Amino acid sequence: MIDRRVWCAAWVLGPAAWAAEPVPAIVREVRRRLADEPVLRGAFEQRKTVKGFRNPIVSRGEFAVVRERGVLWRTQEPFASTLAVSRDRIVARQADGTVTRRLQAQEEPALRAVTQTLFALLSADLAGLAERFQIEGDMDAQGWRLLLTPRDPALARWLRRVELEGDRFLRSARLLEASEDATLIRLARHAAGPALSAAEEAQFD
């Protein structure tokens, strides 16, 4: 979840500096429409199309977005693994629970930009995203579409464009990377879920 390109962005990315700007009207509208649940659970399908790969890389699993805590991204197919993303930390685990990666923004402050962006994307935290992206969009009775372009050239070296679609919930996110890889994430079966179990909570540590 962090490679050299992301590192390169993180090296120069500071905390978002545009917080003072007013949030665009469309973002305020979408936020009003989005359900605000303390814990939101659902299922995802992620499809990465990569130049040089014959087949798209597809994975499926469940997610849980916990307000102010973080996002738990549990891949079940084809390989079980867990990714826990909070504002200042990313922890990746294998199926047996062993940690494969742990990135802490405390140790490397520049990583905070990466963890915050990933967290904001996966949890549809539009206020957080507005700090780093220029947001345009439109909406009708059925739903809304937002187009995000990075404000910071350093971030643009990693993400070229992000497209979000949804109604009461975020339904799909398309990430276009600078490397021309594209990732399409579809979310479904949204439900206000029970609070995190102790085992789930432990994934963040």
Partner 1 sequence: MTEPLVSAPKAAVQPLAAAWPWRAAALAWLAVVLVVAVHQVRFWTAGRLDTDVMALLPATEQDVALTRATEQLGQGLQRQIVVLLGAPDAADVRRAAAAWRAQLLSDKAPLGEVEEQGADGAQFVAFQRRWRDRLLTPVQRERLLHSPGAALTQSALAQLHQPGASAREWAGDPLGLGSEWLLARAGQSKARPRGDGLWVTGEGAEWQVLRYEIGGSAFSMSGDARYGPALEAAWQAARREVPELRMLAVGLPLHAEAAATRASWEINTIGWGSLGCVLLLAWLAFRSPWPMALVGASLVIGTAAGLSLTAAVFGQVHLLTLVFGASLVGVAEDYGIHYFAARQGRPEVPQKMLMRALLPGLALALSTSVLAYLALGLAPFPGLRQMAVFSAGGLAGAFLTAVCWFPLLDRRPPRASRFAAVIAGSLARWPRAAGHPGVWIIAGALALFTAAGLVQLRAGDDLRNWQSSPRPLVEAQMQVNRLLGMPSVAQFYLVQGASAQEVLEREEALKARLDPLVGPAGLQGYVAVSDWVPSLARQREDAALVARAEAQVVAGVNAALGEAIARPGPSVEPLTPQAWLADPVSRAAGRLWLGESEGRWSTLVLLQGLHGRELLPRLAETASQLPGVRWVDRSADVAVLLGRYRGAMTALLLAGHLAVFAALWWRFRSRAWRAWLPTAAASALTAGCLGWLGEPLQLANVLALLLLLGMGVDYGIFLVEHDGDGSAWLAVVLGAASTWLAFGLLAWSSTPVLHAFGLTLMIGIAAVWVLSPWLRPPPRVPP
Touching partner 1, residues 72-111 (CB under 8 A) = 73, 75, 78-79, 81, 83, 92, 94, 100-101, 103, 107-110
Identity of residue 153: P
Distance CA 173, CA 128 (A): 16
120 binds partner 1 (CB under 8 A): no
- For the bound state, the minimum distance from the C-beta of residue 115 to partner 1, rounded and expressed in Å, comes to 10
Which span sits near partner 1 by CB under 8 A: 24-32, 147-155, 164-172, 187-195? 147-155
- For the bound state, the minimum distance from the C-beta of residue 1 to partner 1, rounded and expressed in Å, comes to 4
Dihedral, 7, 9, 10, 14 alpha carbons, nearest 10: 170
- For the bound state, the minimum distance from the C-beta of residue 46 to partner 1, rounded and expressed in Å, comes to 6
Q: In what order do the strands lie in the sheet with 159-166?
A: 99-104, 89-94, 81-86, 70-77, 57-66, 39-49, 182-192, 170-177, 159-166, 144-150, 133-139
Binding track, positions 164-203, relative to partner 1; x by CB under 8 A: -------------x-xxx-x-x------------------
Query: Of the candidates 28, 31, 33, 48, which one interacts with partner 1 according to CB under 8 A?
Result: 48
Inter-residue contact 34 to 166 (CB < 8 Å): yes
